[in-house]
Structure 1
Amino acid sequence: MPSSQLPHPVATSPGATPLRQRVGWVAAPVGFLAYESALHHAAHTPGGEVAALMLGMAPFVLIALAAAWRSAMRLPWLLLLAACGTALWVGRIPLAAHFGWTYFLQHFGANAALAAMFGRTLRQGGTPLCTEFAAAVHGPLPPDMRRYTRRVTQAWTLFFTVTAVVSLILFAVAPMPAWSTFANLGTPLLVALMFVAEAACRRAVLPAAKHTGVLDAVRGYRAVMSERASRAGVSR
């Protein structure tokens, strides 16, 4: 992507960040960890299969509701979702015996989608996703930073691919509690370790570069995603 099309650099000073956004950046990971802990607890609780099923279905329901609400045919879609929700509740007892599939589809699907999202930007002529994130924060990047962010994009692509494959293997051959431990507890820890390892690597490889933290990465992600959404809206 030409530098003129990249989002403008994002202000990184604490005063430039509205309080509501800073609270949101704290609430989002806390909420995610709470949800993952609830999933893990439900998977390990005998007799909690119905609760586990409902927790596993919750993200799919929320996504479907959001899509229906934005649709031009809002009422028909909402009525269809209400019918599906009623059917889910009526059949909750037999479906609860297979609640693990909802967890697996979440975990495997999310990691496979992230691997594809990062990996597709590595194609010839494309701009690696981490390069876009960095440019959104810092502006036009020097060649050494562009090379480094390409490597980081490759590393995240590999990470999400391996995570998806391990999830598939464990779900197929291991007991549900073992898979749940990896998916709901191990994966967030591994993601955090990836951020720590990347920060340490950046300081070793690019000691003279201006270093940023996780919140700057979040700002870059939000700026790039907003820019892409704007371009998609214009192209329609």
Structure 2
Amino acid sequence: MIRNFLFLLNHLRDITDALISISNDKRNDGRAPPFSNDKIISTVNDIFGAGFDTVSTCLFWIFLYLVNNPDIQTKIQEEIDGKIGLRSPRFDDRKDLHYMEAFISEILRHTSFIPFTIPHCAMKETILNGYLIPQDTCIFVNMYQVNHDETLWENADLFRPERFLNENGELDKSLIEKVLGFGMGIRKCLGEDIACNEIFLILTTILQQLKLEKCLQDHLDLTPVYGLFMKPKPYQIQVALRT
């Protein structure tokens, strides 16, 4: 057992191994290690909660929108065929798949399945746009409202990935930056890049090889189930190999 544990310390497989390794390091000043068992468990729970459920919820919405908008699915697959072909997709392909990126951005905007940020606290009294925010005020950012603000988004209630493309079919990055999906400011989610890469890679791999369709008897309902995350109602899809 001890040999196995020592093996893990010398062969770090993931962040959990790294945290355990740090917690077992002896400090020169004789103080306790920086991570207790409880802190390790809490940290890993945060990673699972923020890094897995959010991505899976996003993918559930993506598949639902794809089967509900088969023309959009076709456009994405045509772009994949033209830019990647049959080779395995890579992270750096994101810069070439403009319509794919526009589609993912519109999913984040239109669904706003994380409607509010986690709570933050005003560390000092602040004036924001003429409003007084007292010190120690608990603050939530209403990302859903920003993502559906008609002054920012033309026909905000419509699902249109094309809104993020210019006349040359290239991404309008300034518009994409207005989408709030991971919070805002210096306290926004640190996992944004990882999550976006993960979603891109999974989605590109699936659409490269498969065609997704709704079941004939299934009625698709885009009304979310409300909670901490807004999740889609249960649905079924048919999957077939692309020819």
Q: TM-score under structure 2 normalisation?
A: 0.26
Larger Rg: 2
More strand by share: 2
More helix by share: 1
Relative CO higher for 1 or 2, CA cutoff 8 Å, sep ≥ 6? Answer: 1
